[in-house]
Structure 1
Amino acid sequence: MIEYISGKLISKNQSLAIIDVNGLGYRVNITNNTLEKLPSPENLVKLLIFFHVYENGQELYGFFDEKERFLFTKLITISGIGPKTAINMLSVLPPEEFRNRLISGEVKLLTSLPGIGPKTAKRIIIELKDDLGSSDSSELGIKETSKVNDASSALKNLGFSPILIREAVTKVLKDNKELSTEKIITESLRILK
């Protein structure tokens, strides 16, 4: 398995980067997000790699950061989503925004992409929502306790979106993880107003 490629950037365009590593040129498929972060040609670059082997060949997919590669690997686990489709999906928005829109269940975003119909879009959201939704709180060390779930449920009943709720609750619990359910709701409402 190839973890990353580090070398001199020879050329780049909307879908490919050519990287020279000790005289050997690697053709790497990239997203628009990665393209924007690449330096100009002749500079050194390091891309995280997903190495795809299939019946008729092999392809390299490169990512500027781990968040984007993580999303890519999750997308290709879904039936009907191959690497090319996944790379096109991730070219639409930055990884964090794409992830947030998946969590909030935005079917329109996905159906606007070529080759993604309503059924596939719903399947993507259903299969990935739980995997992608838990990373914000776990990064901060916040456990999905019954207090957090109760507070989130109450805020959802007040009409707030799951993304905004998660951001507010995460902010509230960042400094004090031992708040009561009522205090989590009160402090979150201050942020959400």
Structure 2
Amino acid sequence: MKIGLFFGSFNPVHIGHLIIANTMATTTDLEQVWFVVSPQNPFKKNKSLLHEFDRIDLVERAIADNARLKATDIEFSMPRPSYTIDTLARLQEKYPQHQFKLIIGGDNLAQFPNWKNHEKILEFYGLYVYPRPNSAPSPLEHHPNVKFIEAPLLDISATFIRESIKKNRSIRYLVPEVVEEIIERKRFYI
């Protein structure tokens, strides 16, 4: 099976993430998209990061009705910060029957050469790139293992959602209803 891997903090998961994942699962040759919930992004600071078990719970509830979307906690048991190449190797070892592709936003493509072992990721896995606002040009745009996917141009940020919660503003329609209910009930991000 060909599986797209959508890495992120998902802090919290929002409709932008879900739209991109569903677009990848329904308009490309990917048979499934797995949300790889990262305990800690090596490029981001750790403040205001909800516990990884809460974040994966929110993702699982958000995608529960879509058989083509899955969540994985593969990085929870790995050294931190976890690097994409190490996670890809672990997944390939655990699921040798699958072919994995990495899903990234166009804004990350310009930074991709800074990633650990980015050449190996390109060579052995390849990238499915979705559009993002203000994406800088990248020398990798014409690489044979970089595939651009037509998808809605979305600029919804988890930071905006967390700030809205802190200011007691509505997050309705920014996150799935079930995610909004859990955030309110458990008083996350306050």
TM-score norm. by structure 2 comes to: 0.22
Relative to its length, the structure with more helix (as a share) is 1
Larger Rg: 1
